[in-house]
């Protein structure tokens, strides 16, 4: 939009509306939203009047954050503003871990009620109800009375933002007196795509894995060269790429000295998103490894050792067929049991594992 149009709309609004309404309207319209300073100023300036809250109601109270990679470097905002069809509007882009949103703040300056509907050739076919694709957007169209405003909240599927550089929305307006009008809002991305924008992010991952292991050093002579391992894991991601992983594992040992091996390992995990469905992660951690005694041996025959380990994992998200996000992840680990004061001499060595993990995201 040209700056002349923007400046004229801003000036006209400032002349028509009392300044006292600014803080009131912004607080009501953007509850639960974190937007940049430039977007906040546009919202306060273009439509300072109080407007009804987001319609439809957000599916969860999770904070919606402005999409960083869709911010225009010249305006420092994702917002598009304008005046058309006797309406003032500010449209901007936000997102949560599971969805992106087009937030459309509209004020009806006309003397009659208006019915607003929206369509987009990229996004409107992506929504599903009971596993069936439907057209349009949830709970639209919506009626807006004369001289009142509404904040519309349109859900956008995150995976469609991968490689997406531009898109538009067309809003169809029908007035009570029979008139019809259209306004169009266009967005373009000039910055590199951010994983938080195109990737559906889980806060917690639960996983179960199984596979073989190989050993070396004194450990090989004690527990055997090969065996099998089973692991339960829980990962927590307080940030997009950074996480904490806790896992409990049981190993079936091939030697005669011990009945089995139990692992309790915690560590740091860093993940890299390659596509909306493929990611790669590396981790480093440490924990205790307990070699349990055979049933016929005294409890003092058990041994413990410190396990220091690195891991590499490829994660492939499965097609969404339920409310849960599921993935398969081939995983390789390299662990060291240093021995000495950190473990018995007979269990010193290296432990290599290869496993296939089934992950459920929450």
Q: Using a pLDDT cut of 90, give the percent of the chain over it.
A: 61
The bridge status of strand 148-156 relative to strand 52-55 is parallel
- Between 31 and 58, whose confidence is greater? 58
Whether 337 and 243 map to the same domain: the answer is yes
pLDDT at 320: 67
How many other C-beta atoms lie within 10 A of the C-beta of residue 221?
A: 15
Whether 133 and 225 map to the same domain: the answer is no
How many other C-beta atoms lie within 10 A of the C-beta of residue 326?
A: 14
Whether 294 and 222 map to the same domain: the answer is yes
What's the Cα-to-Cα distance from 169 to each of 18, 72, 120, 136, 144, rounded to whole Å? 31, 18, 5, 11, 19
Whether 249 and 224 map to the same domain: the answer is yes
Q: pLDDT digit string (tens) for 44-58?
A: 999 999 999 999 888
Whether 173 and 279 map to the same domain: the answer is no
Q: pLDDT digit string (tens) for 207-252?
A: 999 999 999 998 888 888 898 999 999 999 998 899 999 999 999 8
- Between 142 and 24, whose confidence is greater? 142
pLDDT grade for 135, boundaries at 50, 70 and 90: low
Structural domain contains residue 237: yes
Contact 138, 157 (CB under 8 A): no
Whether 123 and 234 map to the same domain: the answer is no
pLDDT at 339: 78
Mean pLDDT of 88-99: 94
Burial zone of 73 (CB within 10 Å; 0-12 exposed, 13-18 middle, 19+ buried): exposed
> How far is 112 from 4, CA to CA, in rounded Å?
28
Helices within 199-350 (DSSP H only): 218-223
Q: pLDDT digit string (tens) for 294-341?
A: 877 887 788 888 999 999 999 999 886 656 789 999 999 999 999 777
Which residues 6+ apart lie within 8 Å of 298 measured at CB?
Answer: none
> How far is 299 from 319, CA to CA, in rounded Å?
48
> How far is 99 from 138, CA to CA, in rounded Å?
13
Contact 224, 216 (CB under 8 A): no
Does position 23 have pLDDT exceeding 80, yes or no? Answer: no
Tell me the residue range of the domain where 99 lies: 3-194
Angle (CA) 124-139-118 rounded to 5° is: 40
Whether 149 and 240 map to the same domain: the answer is no
Whether 185 and 39 map to the same domain: the answer is yes
Among residues 314, 326, 247, the alpha carbon closest in space to that of 278 is found at 314
Whether 31 and 53 map to the same domain: the answer is yes
Q: pLDDT digit string (tens) for 244-301?
A: 999 999 998 877 778 888 999 999 999 999 998 999 999 999 999 998 888 778 877 8
How many other C-beta atoms lie within 10 A of the C-beta of residue 164?
A: 17
Whether 26 and 98 map to the same domain: the answer is yes
Structural domain contains residue 199: no
Mean per-residue pLDDT of the chain: 85
> How far is 224 from 85, CA to CA, in rounded Å?
78
Contact 348, 338 (CB under 8 A): yes
Whether 31 and 131 map to the same domain: the answer is yes
> How far is 152 from 52, CA to CA, in rounded Å?
9
Whether 115 and 171 map to the same domain: the answer is yes
Number of domains present in the structure of the chain: 2
pLDDT at 20: 31
- Between 60 and 4, whose confidence is greater? 60
Mean pLDDT of 155-177: 93
This prediction has a pTM of 0.77
Longest dimension (CA), the chain: 91
């Amino acid at each position: 939009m040209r700056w002349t149009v923007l400046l004229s709309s801003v000036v006209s609004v400032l002349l028509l509306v009392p300044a006292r309404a600014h803080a009131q309207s912004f607080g009501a319209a953007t509850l639960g939203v974190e937007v940049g300073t430039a977007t906040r100023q546009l919202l306060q300036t273009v439509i300072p009047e109080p407007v009804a809250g987001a319609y439809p109601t957000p599916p969860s109270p999770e904070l919606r954050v402005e999409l960083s990679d869709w911010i225009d470097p010249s305006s420092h905002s994702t917002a598009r503003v304008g005046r058309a069809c006797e309406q003032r509007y500010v449209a901007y882009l936000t997102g949560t871990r599971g969805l992106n949103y087009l937030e459309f703040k509209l004020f009806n300056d006309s003397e009659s009620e208006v019915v607003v509907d929206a369509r987009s050739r990229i996004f409107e076919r992506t929504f599903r109800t009971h596993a069936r694709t439907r057209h349009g957007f949830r709970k639209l169209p919506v009626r807006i009375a004369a001289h009142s405003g509404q904040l519309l909240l349109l859900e956008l599927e995150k995976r469609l933002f991968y490689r997406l550089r531009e898109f538009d929305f067309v809003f169809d307006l029908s007035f009570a007196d029979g008139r019809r009008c259209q306004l169009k809002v266009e967005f373009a991305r000039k910055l590199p795509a951010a994983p938080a924008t195109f990737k559906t992010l889980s806060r917690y991952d639960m996983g179960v894995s199984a596979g073989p292991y190989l050993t070396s050093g004194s450990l090989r002579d004690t527990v055997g060269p090969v065996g099998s391992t089973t692991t339960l894991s829980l990962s927590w991601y307080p940030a997009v790429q950074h996480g904490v992983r806790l896992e409990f594992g049981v190993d079936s040992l091939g030697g005669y000295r011990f009945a089995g091996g139990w692992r309790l390992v915690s560590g740091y995990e860093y993940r890299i998103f390659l596509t909306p469905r493929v990611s790669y992660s590396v981790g480093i951690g440490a924990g205790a490894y307990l070699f349990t005694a055979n049933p016929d041996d005294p409890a003092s025959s058990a041994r413990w050792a410190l396990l220091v380990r690195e891991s590499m994992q490829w994660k492939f998200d499965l097609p969404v067929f339920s409310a849960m996000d599921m993935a398969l992840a081939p995983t390789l680990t390299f662990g060291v049991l240093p021995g000495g004061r950190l473990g018995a001499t007979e269990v010193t060595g290296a432990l290599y594992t290869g496993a296939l993990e089934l992950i459920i995201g929450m």
